[in-house]
Homo-oligomer: A and B are copies of this chain.
């Protein structure tokens, strides 16, 4: 059996977040913000690419680093000019915030979602104000049949914890967030050095 070509040059990077007893990140707390939460665990491992699953995993969430869906060229350039890489040695705090939006959101047209996302909720503009302190990466999960639509990941030095709380609070108050039906907030502290700065 074949699919014509065995290696694709630039397939989206798939990442598995594996909660259990191993991993570079210590789980400080898991809060159910809206809807069902996730089970408690001691550690979180962030596994890039095809991975074999640890037998001790309490839960697994998967997502892909895919193309942007809303940002314009000008916004992309503003983001790229300011956003730092993941894995900075001083960015020892992190948050993994899986989010699922209601069906109504997904049945909106592209222009309607963009209008709510940026013109009315200022998602991109707000996030820009917290760069470069808070590094972020978005993982897409919906097309993978996962329980969440997105896995949002943030990394920041401990002295920017206040700024991060402010960013999260501002986003949760937007019109966009009225479409969120499930959200879990997982806070983490790095206890093993970053293997890979990506």
Q: Which A residues have a C-beta under 8 Å from some C-beta of B? A: 1-5, 8-12, 14, 35-39, 57-61, 64, 66-73, 75-76, 100, 103, 106-112, 114, 140, 142-147, 182, 184
Contact A14 B147 (CB under 8 A): no
> Which residue among A70, A110, A184 has the maximum number of chain B CB atoms within 10 Å of its CB?
A110
- Which B residues touch A100, using CB under 8 A? 8
Contact B75 A109 (CB under 8 A): yes
Other than A4-B59, A66-B142, A70-B110, give 13 A-B pairs with Cβ distance below 8 A: A1-B57, A2-B38, A2-B39, A3-B38, A10-B106, A11-B142, A12-B142, A66-B143, A67-B142, A68-B109, A73-B109, A73-B111, A140-B143
Q: List 7 A-B contacts (CB under 8 A).
A: A1-B60, A3-B59, A4-B39, A12-B145, A69-B69, A73-B112, A140-B143
Contact B36 A5 (CB under 8 A): yes
In the complex, the count of this chain's copies comes to: 2
Contact of A36 among B4, B111, B140 (CB under 8 A): B4
Contact B109 A71 (CB under 8 A): yes
A147-B1 contact in complex given A72-B111, A110-B69, C-beta closer than 8 Å: no
Contact of A60 among B3, B35, B39 (CB under 8 A): B3
Q: A11–B148 Cα gap in the complex (Å)?
A: 10
A67-B147 contact in complex given A2-B39, A4-B38, A36-B5, C-beta closer than 8 Å: no
Contact B60 A4 (CB under 8 A): no
Q: Which chain B residue has the least Cβ–Cβ distance from A32?
A: B4
Q: A14–B35 Cα gap in the complex (Å)?
A: 25
